Amino acid sequence: MSFVLIVGSGRVGSIVARDLLAAGHEVSVLDGDPLSHERLDAGQESTWEGAGGRFTIGQAIERDALVEAGIERADVFIAATNGDNTNLTIAQIAQKMFNVPRVLVRVMDPARAEWYGSQGMEIICPTSYAVTMFETALGLPGADG
């Protein structure tokens, strides 16, 4: 069991959070929008907190919010807000200031995804994926974004 801190409770963050909690991990979610909490309850039998999840309201780029959300003992850090700049900034904070062992980041810009992927972060780039899928569907070999 790992302690996973997820920043960003959007479509991606909230689904990953629920699935990880259901799989027995300890999961803490940080988001600046109180209403984003609703996504964590969606389709569940109990509330997010009732199921053992944690939720912190706060700005991801503020150190205090990250600490409150538990970054100091996180095994895994997931940056899944809607902004590349925010995701890359907080991922670097998690990696360099808090020494979180695993840092996963969603990056929409393929160019930045490639560069940061070479810096020890695990980068997930949905844009490159979409390009590859379209091109694969159309028979383009060796397609990548």
User: Does 37 interact with its own copies (rule: CB under 8 A)?
Assistant: no
State the minimum distance, in angstroms, from the CB of residue 135 to its own copies.
Answer: 6
For CA atoms 30, 31, 37, 40, the dihedral sign is negative
Name which of 128, 80, 126 is nearest 103 in CA terms.
80
Residue whose tokens read 């959070």: 17
- Number of other residues whose CB lies within 10 A of the CB of residue 141: 6
State the minimum distance, in angstroms, from the CB of residue 64 to its own copies.
Answer: 26
**7, 20, 88, 90: which one binds its own copies (CB under 8 A):** 20
Residues 92-111 touching its own copies, rule: CB under 8 A, are 102, 104, 106, 108-110
Residues 49-88 touching its own copies, rule: CB under 8 A, are 76, 78, 80
Q: How many of the chain's residues bind its own copies (CB under 8 A)?
A: 34
Residue 81 to residue 75: CA distance in whole angstroms: 19
Binding mask 108-127 for its own copies (x = CB under 8 A): xxx-----------x-x-xx
Q: What is the edge-to-edge ordering of all strands in the sheet holding 3-7?
A: 54-57, 26-31, 3-7, 76-79, 102-106, 122-124
User: Does 134 interact with its own copies (rule: CB under 8 A)?
Assistant: yes
Residue 30 to residue 54: CA distance in whole angstroms: 9
Q: Tell me the two tokens of residue 50.
A: 């009732």
**Residues lying near its own copies in the complex (CB under 8 A):** 2, 4, 11-12, 15-16, 19-20, 23, 25, 76, 78, 80, 102, 104, 106, 108-110, 122, 124, 126-127, 129-131, 133-135, 137-138, 140, 143, 145
